[in-house]
Amino acid sequence: MRTAIALFTRDLRVRDNPVLAGARAAADRVVPLFVLDNTLLLTSHGRPNRFGFLAESLRDLDQSLRERGGALFVRRGDWVEEVLRVAKQGDATTIHVARDISGYAQARLARLQSAAPMDVTTHDSITVVPPAAFGKPFVVFAPYYNRWLDASWRGLAPLPRRMSLPEDVEIGALPRGASPGTWQGGERAGLARLKAWTARGLRGYAARRDDPGADETSRLSPYLHFGCVSALEVASRLWDRTGSTELLRQLCWRDFYAQLLSWRPAVAHDDLRPGTAPVWRDAPGDFEAWKAGRTGFPFVDAGMRQLHAEGWMHNRVRMVVASFLTRDLRIDWREGARHFMDLLVDGDVANNQLNWQWVAGTGTDANPHRVLNPTLQGRDHDPGGVYVRRWIRELRDVPPDVDIHDPPFDVRRMTRYSEPIIDHHEAIEMWRASRGPRPGRGSADAT
């Protein structure tokens, strides 16, 4: 009897899971295992919003495995030590695991590979196209997108029907925890969301994905982050559907950032293009006002309040609040990224840090001089003020003829909504004056 470990990380699903399918094909008995990694739990990865979603996703995975004669084995501690302990107890001949991209994940896997006496087989299951698929990394999105559209994709991994477990390994306890707001972790909830969203039709997405009041985006990001749904399966299912181009493009952005981080993990904290950052300000009062949604700029404040309430924020508003922090307040993008990681259910090192860098102008934006005016962005993308009214209680009953994205002084006073903490135009002048040399088009060793 051969035993294999199917080591789950952020591929918490039974459908299209190459790790599970690989372990199932390699052995008679499979130990589906998840290790709560103490090192990660002590960092922002262990914050309550994401931990709650993770706990629900693990429970859901356990249920799916039990329906197939299996169960999810759970351990907590040093990731490598715990995996090897279970492998030894189960007399496993092989460990199957997904290749991941952050510096920590890569080092953790390397540590496992060098310590394991048995074979460790790695699979690409996190992105649509594997990070190393095109050899040389890309730092510019457009050429990457063209390559991505032409790439051949792996076939979907088969769904294991039945599995058997070794008898002499203790199963362990699933963690407790619940997602914030209306989120529900797990593969079932993720697939239900995908189904409901695609049934509404993709045309609404293409037309209104930048309108946060309409809330037409898929909200699949936490499911993709934890791998409750497979990015490849989503892309394959939608490829031929009318109106899918925009969604595929977003999935490509996800792959694009994954290949960048995988190639250069230090960009999680270092500027991708050194020398492009402005002189950052140390302004704790402004930072607190931004975090609390009390900047006096309604579109920015609505976003920050949505983040607090839901552990999630619409993409357009993420761009605007990030621009406000890094351009108007000139506070280091790392501070904003850290706050996002503290609260986001979908908090993801590649997507978060590299989107922050994109907005801050230190990353991959081909136009790093772009400035998002928070008032004009609100008028353009939330013309009826639906989003602002939803999240800013003080402004909920402001009459329709008032410019809700720049309420006059008397309206602010009556509703007790804050005055703007800065003058946008003056702040942008200061930002321009404080910037370093203009960025180049990319580093020498990348496309």
Binding positions for ligand FAD, rule: CB under 6 A: 209, 217-221, 224-225, 247, 250-251, 253-254, 257, 315, 318-319, 322, 340, 344, 346-348, 351-352, 355-356, 359
Query: Distance between CA 440 and CA 380 in Å, rounded?
Result: 31
The encoded tokens of residue 418 equal 């804050």
Closest separation between CB of residue 362 and ligand FAD, Å? 12
- Cα atoms in the 13 Å half-sphere on the side-chain side of 423: 4
Closest separation between CB of residue 216 and ligand FAD, Å? 8
What strand order describes the sheet that includes 73-77?
73-77, 29-37, 3-8, 94-98, 119-123
Q: Which residues contact 62 (CB under 8 A, 6 or more apart)?
A: 71, 72, 174
Nearer to ligand FAD, 363 or 439 (CB): 363
Closest separation between CB of residue 337 and ligand FAD, Å? 7
Query: Distance between CA 130 and CA 364 in Å, rounded?
Result: 20
Nearer to ligand FAD, 87 or 344 (CB): 344
Nearer to ligand FAD, 89 or 315 (CB): 315
Nearer to ligand FAD, 62 or 233 (CB): 233
**DSSP strand E in 242-332: where?**
none
Closest separation between CB of residue 110 and ligand FAD, Å? 25
Closest separation between CB of residue 300 and ligand FAD, Å? 12
Contact assessment for residue 231 and residue 254, using Cβ atoms and an 8 Å cutoff: yes
Nearer to ligand FAD, 24 or 225 (CB): 225
CB atoms within 10 A of CB 269: 12
Nearer to ligand FAD, 303 or 385 (CB): 303
Query: Distance between CA 295 and CA 288 in Å, rounded?
Result: 9
371 to each of 66, 319, 323, 360, how far by Cα in Å? 52, 10, 7, 10
Q: Of 282, 293, 285, 287, which is closest to residue 374 (Cα–Cα)?
A: 293
Closest separation between CB of residue 171 and ligand FAD, Å? 31
Nearer to ligand FAD, 3 or 221 (CB): 221
Nearer to ligand FAD, 32 or 336 (CB): 336
Closest separation between CB of residue 131 and ligand FAD, Å? 14
Own/partner pairs, 287-295, CB within 8 angstroms, 24+ separation? 287/325, 287/329, 287/331, 287/335, 289/418, 289/421, 290/321, 290/324, 290/325, 290/329, 290/331, 290/336, 291/339, 293/391, 293/392, 294/418, 294/421, 295/324, 295/418, 295/420, 295/421, 295/422
Nearer to ligand FAD, 166 or 347 (CB): 347
Closest separation between CB of residue 164 and ligand FAD, Å? 35
Q: Which residues contact 219 (CB under 8 A, 6 or more apart)?
A: 193, 197, 312
Closest separation between CB of residue 356 and ligand FAD, Å? 5
Closest separation between CB of residue 341 and ligand FAD, Å? 7
Nearer to ligand FAD, 216 or 406 (CB): 216
Nearer to ligand FAD, 12 or 247 (CB): 247
- Which amino acid would we find at residue 291? K
Closest separation between CB of residue 29 and ligand FAD, Å? 34
- Which amino acid would we find at residue 83? V
Q: Which residues contact 192 (CB under 8 A, 6 or more apart)?
A: none
